[in-house]
Amino acid sequence: MRVPHSATARPVTRHDDDFVLFDTPSTPEPPRWRAAWLRLRPVVEQQAGSLKVRIAASVAVLVAVSIAVSAGALQRANDRDIRSAHLEQEGRAAAAQADRISHRLDALQSNVRRAALRLSPKAFANEASLQVFVGDASAFASAFSAIFVSDREGRVLVYADDKGVRKPDTSIGDRDYFRRMLQDRRVVVSAPVVGKVSNLPMIAVMAPVLADGAEIVGAVGGSLLLAANQLLDPAGFAVGAGATAMLVDADGRILAHADERRVYRDLASEPVIGAPVAAWFGAAVAGGLRKGETLLDGHAVVAAAVPGTDWWVIRSARDDRLAGSATAMGVRIAGLAIGGGLVGGLLILGLLAWLLRPMAHLEQRALGLLDGSLPVDQGWPRGSGEIGRLARVLQHVMRERAQSEQQNQGLMKRLAGVMAAAPIGIAFVRGTRFELMSREFSVLLGYPDDLLLGRSVRDVFSSDVEFDEHFAASGGESDGGQFDGEFTLLRRDGSTFHGHVQGRSVDPSDPSAGSIWLIADVTERRAERERLAWSAHHDGLTRLHNRAAFEAELQRMLDLLPRPLPISLLFIDLDHFKQVNDNAGHAAGDQVLRDVAACLTAGVRGTDLVARLGGDEFAVILRGCAQDAALRLADGLRAAALQVGVMHEGRRLCIGASIGVVEINSADGDMAHWMAQADAACYDAKRSGRDAVRTAGSGPLRLVGNTAD
């Protein structure tokens, strides 16, 4: 015999022929504190869930809250004073910056306006003169990143920046600020755009150049790169640690920033509190404010509008003084609240422990309900007050519960009997899952007993379309599962059948109560219904539309008149058909009728309607077909009819076709009128010697291949 080698055993050095000895290390004992905790843990957990501990904890919380509310009122008053002073300081700084930017913008516009006045209109006829002007405009150029001159169509004639003077192949004629300058005939400042030459975010300032007749011959402009912060006084935007200063437009796009990397981004992308500031700023602009202030996430935020523009200066600074004051006050309040809560909680805990001693007896009796060791009416504590009343209520509830369980068991037996005897499938559905079903329900869907329990109702529908139609018919779960319809259902083996499914809610006022489904296989009944519907509108011999379907479609087409597309009507009467019937018999005549139906169907378009009116009479409705085209098509059908025939006693019996054509070109006549017109044309073709095509009131039709005359 060998001792199995475990993962924790160590072999020793002693061996013999039959076995190996293993030395199993002993498990160290846990520390004393852990052993003590393991013994006390059940008691602690039990007491923590008791009513008296919860009441004591509630009292402790109430005491703590009372202290916190009282002290918090003092803190809020202090906070308001600090916040007001801080926001006022930041507001003054933002307003001063907005004024400096406004003055800077006025100076830039004046600079451009003076440059436009100095530029002679004649210089636009000479590119060299424009380059000389740009080269001499040193004072004008020093205020901008680049200066440029354009003609009145917006073509840039000369452009100067730190890379030199040149003529770029570009136009600003499509820019909104250029069009505004032409319309207003004054200096304009653009919205932030990406420069067509620099490919960098910039702002353009443009002024028109006027001829003596006050006609605009061109424009002078300068561009300011946003990343260079040329609109700002750098010293004016200096901020301390944890603070931010920026210039934004009304849409929240950053035009200038103490951190140049943030330029031309959305205000919401600003770190720390960008999204809250953007939301607050958007609401302020929409409300028509020109100045605003708020406190967001410990930051004082102020905004001041730049006069004469839709730009705003926004300053955001962390309020360290407010945070420090709040922290210190919060620590003091927390200490008072915790101390007062602990004292009050301990006092109330001792009082409750003495008052609620009878509850232990009630608890033990309630636990005895689980094992049924005592009858329902025995072992309950006696007494008055809340505990006595609670014991009597529990005793009454247990008696009612026992009676209810007996009734439910009987009801479930009767329900199972009803579901087993029902000739249709019955199921109970809650939400979208089956919770109960009859055996017939499982058999219809090809599932063993109970295999559908818990599965989604989607599993029994053949497709998502069928499933969506079910919920559309029932109004979804919000309508409590009320529906009645036929659906294509899916068996477990993948086959399908047509099922009549009815759903009724258990409680219409409570959709969550579920619904009852009834399912019956109606595949054969549906097939018979479809066959009868087809027979009502088709000829059984030729499988063409019958007279009723033809007249219904013709009336529908007449109801749509007047219409842009023409309609033509053909009446067809077979020639020599009686000879086929008389000589070859009715079976041969039936075959000829089927062959004629086939050639008529093959000779028209898929959108046309071919019908057998009775006997050897046929009709065709040609949608979107004028009379000329209808005549050509009718002659083709006439020629095709000549090829139809049967063999009898060694010779071929052939037929022909006389066709009347009429174009329905107005809404004046009714269906009887147009059918009479087509019938008259057909009769005229018959009278002319058969095998002919005629129109209503026309002479002989002369077409290539037509034998009639």
Torsion of CA 329, 333, 336, 340, to 10 degrees: 170
For residue range 499-512, list pLDDT tens digits in order.
888 788 877 777 77
What tokens does 524 get? Answer: 């054969």
Does one domain contain both 690 and 542?
A: yes
In a domain, 415, yes or no: no
pLDDT of residue 208: 93
Does one domain contain both 173 and 130?
A: yes
Q: Judge contact between 317 and 300, C-beta under 8 A.
A: yes
Does one domain contain both 546 and 525?
A: no
Does one domain contain both 619 and 659?
A: yes
- The CA distances from residue 197 to 194, 211, 254, 523, in Å, are 9, 28, 21, 75
Least confident of 198-207, 236-245, 445-454: 236-245
3-state secondary structure 55-104: HHHHHHHHHHHHHHHHHHHHHHHHHHHHHHHHHHHHHHHHHHHHHHHHHH
In a domain, 524, yes or no: yes
Q: By CB neighbour count within 10 A (0-12 exposed, 13-18 middle, 19+ buried), where does 479 fall? A: middle
Letter string b/e over residues 547-561, b meaning 16 or more CB atoms within 10 A of that residue's CB = eebbbebbeebbeee
Q: How confident is the model at residue 169 (pLDDT cuts 50, 70, 90)?
A: confident
Least confident of 199-203, 352-356, 455-459, 671-675: 352-356
- The CA distances from residue 260 to 98, 137, 230, 232, 256, in Å, are 19, 28, 11, 12, 7
In a domain, 602, yes or no: yes
Domain boundary among 501, 529, 557: 529
CATH of the domain at 622: 3.30.70.270
pLDDT of residue 10: 47
Does one domain contain both 582 and 666?
A: yes
| Structural domain that includes position 176 | 119-228
Task: Kindly report the backbone phi and psi dihedral angles of residue 435, in degrees, each rounded to the nearest multiple of 5, phi listed first.
Answer: -115, -20
Alpha carbon 189 to chain centroid, angstroms? 41
Separation of alpha carbons 623 and 407, rounded Å: 71
pLDDT of residue 425: 78
Task: Decide if pLDDT at 22 tops 50.
Answer: no
For residue range 179-203, list pLDDT tens digits in order.
998 898 899 998 888 888 888 888 8
The type of residue at 477 is E
Does one domain contain both 371 and 493?
A: no
Separation of alpha carbons 485 and 474, rounded Å: 9
In a domain, 599, yes or no: yes
Peptide bond into 564 cis (omega under 30): no
Q: How confident is the model at residue 661 (pLDDT cuts 50, 70, 90)?
A: very high
Task: Decide if pLDDT at 59 tops 90.
Answer: no
Does one domain contain both 568 and 663?
A: yes
pLDDT of residue 569: 93
pLDDT of residue 135: 76
Taking each continuous run of H as one helix and of E as one strand, the counts in the chain are 17, 26
Q: How confident is the model at residue 428 (pLDDT cuts 50, 70, 90)?
A: confident
Q: Judge contact between 301 and 280, C-beta under 8 A.
A: yes
Does one domain contain both 637 and 554?
A: yes
Least confident of 21-25, 171-175, 695-699: 21-25
Task: Decide if pLDDT at 690 tops 80.
Answer: yes
Q: Judge contact between 302 and 280, C-beta under 8 A.
A: no
Helices 385-421, 358-371: inter-axial angle, 10-degree rounding: 20
Alpha carbon 2 to chain centroid, angstroms? 70
pLDDT of residue 7: 43
Q: How confident is the model at residue 368 (pLDDT cuts 50, 70, 90)?
A: low
Share above pLDDT 70 across residues of the chain, in percent, rounded to a whole number? 73
More confident residue, 88 or 691: 691
In a domain, 296, yes or no: no
In a domain, 75, yes or no: no
In a domain, 57, yes or no: no
Structural domain total, the chain: 4
Q: How confident is the model at residue 285 (pLDDT cuts 50, 70, 90)?
A: confident
Q: By CB neighbour count within 10 A (0-12 exposed, 13-18 middle, 19+ buried), where does 591 fall? A: middle
Q: Judge contact between 232 and 313, C-beta under 8 A.
A: no
What tokens does 130 get? Answer: 């424009």
For residue range 535-556, list pLDDT tens digits in order.
778 888 888 998 988 999 988 8
Length of the chain: 709
Q: How confident is the model at residue 18 (pLDDT cuts 50, 70, 90)?
A: very low
Q: Judge contact between 666 and 561, C-beta under 8 A.
A: yes
For residue range 516-529, list pLDDT tens digits in order.
888 888 778 887 78
Does one domain contain both 402 and 428?
A: no
Range 161-165 average pLDDT: 84
Range 59-83 average pLDDT: 69
Q: Pairing mode, if any, of strands 496-505 and 617-623?
A: unpaired
Task: Kindly report the backbone phi and psi dihedral angles of residue 281, in degrees, each rounded to the nearest multiple of 5, phi listed first.
Answer: -65, -40
Domain boundary among 228, 244, 260: 228
Separation of alpha carbons 415 and 147, rounded Å: 92
Range 150-174 average pLDDT: 87
Q: How confident is the model at residue 299 (pLDDT cuts 50, 70, 90)?
A: confident
Separation of alpha carbons 679 and 695, rounded Å: 10
- State the DSSP code for 171: B
Least confident of 30-34, 230-234, 683-687: 230-234
Does one domain contain both 191 and 216?
A: yes
Torsion of CA 342, 348, 349, 352, to 10 degrees: -170
Least confident of 23-32, 133-142, 404-413, 524-533: 23-32
Q: Judge contact between 481 and 504, C-beta under 8 A.
A: yes
Share above pLDDT 90 across residues of the chain, in percent, rounded to a whole number? 8
Task: Decide if pLDDT at 622 tops 80.
Answer: yes
Torsion of CA 141, 147, 150, 154, to 10 degrees: -150
Helix (H, G, I), strand (E, B) or coil at 651: strand
Task: Decide if pLDDT at 214 tops 70.
Answer: yes
pLDDT of residue 708: 37
Separation of alpha carbons 432 and 470, rounded Å: 12
Domain boundary among 228, 246, 277: 228
- Listed ranges 121-130, 131-140, 286-295, 416-425; the one with the highest mean pLDDT: 121-130
Separation of alpha carbons 109 and 385, rounded Å: 89
Does one domain contain both 545 and 664?
A: yes
Q: Give bridge partners of residue 433 from the DSSP assignment.
A: 430, 456
- Mean pLDDT (the chain, rounded): 77
Range 43-67 average pLDDT: 67
DSSP string, 249-316: -TTSBEEEESSGGGTTSBGGGSTTTHHHHHHHHHHHHHTT-SEEEEEETTEEEEEEEPTTSS-EEEEE
